[in-house]
Structure 1
Amino acid sequence: MLVSYIDKLQLTDFRSFAQQDIIFDSKQTLILGQNGRGKTNILEAISLLSIGKSFRGKTLSECVRMGAQVAHIVAQSVVDSEEEKISAHIVATQNNLGQRSSVRYERNGVKKQKKSVVGIIKSVVFRPEDLEIITGSPSTKRDFLDEVLIQVSPVYLTALREYERALKHRNKLILQLRDGLVTRRDFFFWDELLVKHGDLITRERARFIHFLNTAVVFPVKAQVTYDHSIMSEERLHQYATAEVAAGRTLVGPHKDSLSVRMQLSSPLGGEEVERSTTEGVKEIESQQDLQDVSLYGSRGQQRMAVLWLKVAQLQFIEAQTKQTPILLLDDIFSELDEHNRELIFSLFDNHQVIMTSAEEMRMLPPKITDGLLVNL
């Protein structure tokens, strides 16, 4: 397994920081500070280098400090004993439509395309807001799938970018079609792009879901149901009239969602049934002892489901890339009971762990105060 970690992070005009340099221990670092001091900003910057976007789900222009035009993120890291200097420079611009942003990437001082930089530093983020993966909107659940797959597959990143570009153009065409300004022949090029890249996105997502349902090592039994919207010429034709009324494309991976079913009580001895996955692989599941955790799970059980998904993300990245991701824990321990804390602690071995907390040292579990301490 390739070991990776970050030595140093330099932030300039990023969020609340005019200039901030942070040194990390290769094993464990705890960042302490009161709320509003920028602890989460540090984890956000590292994650941004991993996946090419903010885990806060906002536009990247918001990452540029007020009054500045460019935010700089520079990480000095080690991957398989080789030093890597990864940089992202976020440029915020203003036009009639509001703020926009562009990002320039560099690897060891050389300008690179996004797909050549994203995923070099791999990370898994644990945040209290992750509960939204279970209880939130389908878009939040799709973001989780993308966050995983972007780090293991440059092809997926390219397909996702091209799909989103084609979708945007096609939706504009739908509105123009409704106004009589274009015909269906103008859709041909964009339809082909959507079908091509949409198929790859669906297959890659299904591959991760299959891993979730068959290969994850975790103390609680769980399964994911992948509610995928297939993109094809036939389905586009099927929804042609409805999409004009709606003013947008109604089928494709941008409509995907997922749900998690978990063993919420002792097994009921339910009958095992066989079903086919998207990949055509037969799986055995017991339907009676697995329930939709978003509907029937307690808050604690929903947090357990989030942990299962995050552990799955960690194990999938390691299985696909043979590289250890960095664990980024954003003030999560106050939200977890002792059992869930122990599950997190079990992940510390063989990974660099960077944690934040607003609590006083004496209130924290001893396990997380063992490494380097950074006060903000």
Structure 2
Amino acid sequence: MDSPARVFVTALRLTDFRNHAAFALAPGRRSVALVGDNGVGKTNCLEAISFLSPGRGLRRAAMAQVARIGGPGGWSVSADVEGLYGAVRLGTGNLPDEPSRLARVDGEPVRSAEAFTDHLRVLWLTPAMDGLFTGPAADRRRFLDRMVLALDPGHGRRVAGLEQALTNRNRLLEDHRSDPAWLDAVEAQIAEAGVAVAAARREAVGCLERLVAAGPAADLFPTARVSLEGDLEAALDTGSASDVEDWYRADLAAGRSRDRAAGRTLVGAHRADFVVHHAVKDMPAALSSTGEQKALLIGLVLAQARLVAELARQTPVLLLDEVVAHLDPGRRGSLFAILSDLGGQVFMTGTDRAPFEPVSEATEIVAVTA
């Protein structure tokens, strides 16, 4: 099999984005380490790159929150990208007082940022994700969905459609006068979307499990054992998608009184959990030490990167925010070696340039000031 296409953000330009009135970077095909004091906007640069993918970026921010305080109200991000289909310019931004963002490819409007995935796949790791294993299941589902989205650009639309259908069902259940036919219709939508979402997640977790097992040595980054737990997911282990869809639709109809009393739909893909264990210790990740949890998380993101390269046939761009700050020199060196082997471009941040000196030949170290 041919090697995956190597993808690079060769130039980046921000306008009125967060604290940056204007910011430009031209790394070419090199990786980048953004260094500087806390608060100067290093993470903002990573967030800007994350908007070159579907969704709301690595902070899941509302569009108005991204615009520079004191600026005109809108913002824009533009990037030159070299990848699977050659050189292209991607652009996105938000006009003042508009709830959604615009997307352009080579200056031409496209329907959504989903079109960017033909040219660029983006994965990230931020300090806000450090509580992934101890936080709510919704955070782990979101982490998993970002991975699936990097493999299947249509996954985001399926998840959004499922969430909207669930909201509609809850409203209908609250209104005792609702026509049962309306509930039948919306439950059919939920069953179809829910099984599709569950199946996509289940397939991705199976692939991830294979690549995690073949990843770095456990003494560098602990091997994770991953699984997906939920009613639909368990049903798909033994039944076809159409059979599970029929069962789920019937369960929704039979459970209307139950769900009306609870104020929410109690069964479905929206209740699944992405479960991670420390494989060597046979211990839930939530019970591992803080350092082990960080290493497990890094290992998962690295496995995601390998999975995207394998299935999408292009290397993802990795955004690693403050990732080296909590690694000892040995593990830091191992991380740099693994990143080099992946062959893709990496954008990293840190407060000090010293940790990045060992990779300075392949990495442009950029000082960011307020």
TM-score relative to the length of structure 2: 0.85
1:237 counterpart letter in structure 2: A
Residue 110 (str. 1) matches residue 126 (str. 2):
no
Q: Which residue of 2 aligns with 1:52?
A: 55
Rounded to whole Å, the distance in 2 between the matches of 1:233 and 1:328 is: 40
Q: Which residue of 1 aligns with 2:191?
A: 195
**Preserved contact between residue 8 and residue 345 of structure 2 (Cα < 8 Å):** yes
Q: 1:121 to 1:35 in 2, by over 3 A?
A: same
- SS of alignment partner, residue 209 of structure 1: helix
**Preserved contact between residue 33 and residue 364 of structure 2 (Cα < 8 Å):** yes
Q: 1:63 to 1:229 in 2, by over 3 A?
A: farther
Alignment of 1:138-287 (within 5 A): 138-175=137-174, 177=175, 180-216=176-212, 217-218=214-215, 219-220=217-218, 221-230=223-232, 232-265=248-281
Deviations 1:149-190 (A, max 9, x none): 112212322212222222222222222x2xx34233222222
Q: Which residue of 1 aligns with 2:87?
A: 83
1:149 counterpart letter in structure 2: V
Rounded to whole Å, the distance in 2 between the matches of 1:323 and 1:260 is: 26
Q: Which residue of 1 aligns with 2:74?
A: 70
Rounded to whole Å, the distance in 1 between the matches of 2:254 and 2:184 is: 15
Q: How much does 1:44 deviate? A: 0.8
Residue 29 (str. 1) matches residue 68 (str. 2):
no
Gaps of 5+ in 2: 233-244
Q: 1:197 to 1:139 in 2, by over 3 A?
A: same
Q: Which residue of 1 aligns with 2:17?
A: 14
CA RMSD, 1 decimal: 2.0
Q: Which residue of 2 aligns with 1:274?
A: none
Deviations 1:84-112 (A, max 9, x none): 1111122453xxxxxx7211111111111
- SS of alignment partner, residue 134 of structure 1: coil
Q: 1:83 to 1:25 in 2, by over 3 A?
A: closer
**Preserved contact between residue 187 and residue 253 of structure 2 (Cα < 8 Å):** no
Q: Which residue of 2 aligns with 1:355?
A: 348
- SS of alignment partner, residue 29 of structure 1: strand
Deviations 1:118-141 (A, max 9, x none): 463112212222222222211110
Residue 293 (str. 1) matches residue 309 (str. 2):
no
**Preserved contact between residue 144 and residue 274 of structure 2 (Cα < 8 Å):** no
Q: Which residue of 2 aligns with 1:375?
A: 367
Rounded to whole Å, the distance in 2 between the matches of 1:351 and 1:168 is: 39
Q: Which residue of 1 aligns with 2:300?
A: 309
Q: How much does 1:76 deviate? A: 1.0
Q: How much does 1:229 deviate? A: 4.0
**Preserved contact between residue 134 and residue 293 of structure 1 (Cα < 8 Å):** yes
Deviations 1:311-365 (A, max 9, x none): 1211111111110111222122111223432332121241112111112x3x425
Between structures 1 and 2, the one with greater strand share? 1
**Preserved contact between residue 12 and residue 19 of structure 1 (Cα < 8 Å):** yes
Residue 326 (str. 1) matches residue 317 (str. 2):
yes
Q: 1:291 to 1:162 in 2, by over 3 A?
A: same
**Preserved contact between residue 103 and residue 109 of structure 2 (Cα < 8 Å):** yes
- SS of alignment partner, residue 259 of structure 2: helix
2:322 counterpart letter in structure 1: D
Gaps of 5+ in 1: 94-99, 266-289
Residue 125 (str. 1) matches residue 121 (str. 2):
no
Q: How much does 1:243 deviate? A: 1.2
- SS of alignment partner, residue 117 of structure 1: helix
**Preserved contact between residue 54 and residue 60 of structure 1 (Cα < 8 Å):** no
TM-score relative to the length of structure 1: 0.84
Rounded to whole Å, the distance in 2 between the matches of 1:120 and 1:171 is: 38
Q: 1:292 to 1:13 in 2, by over 3 A?
A: same
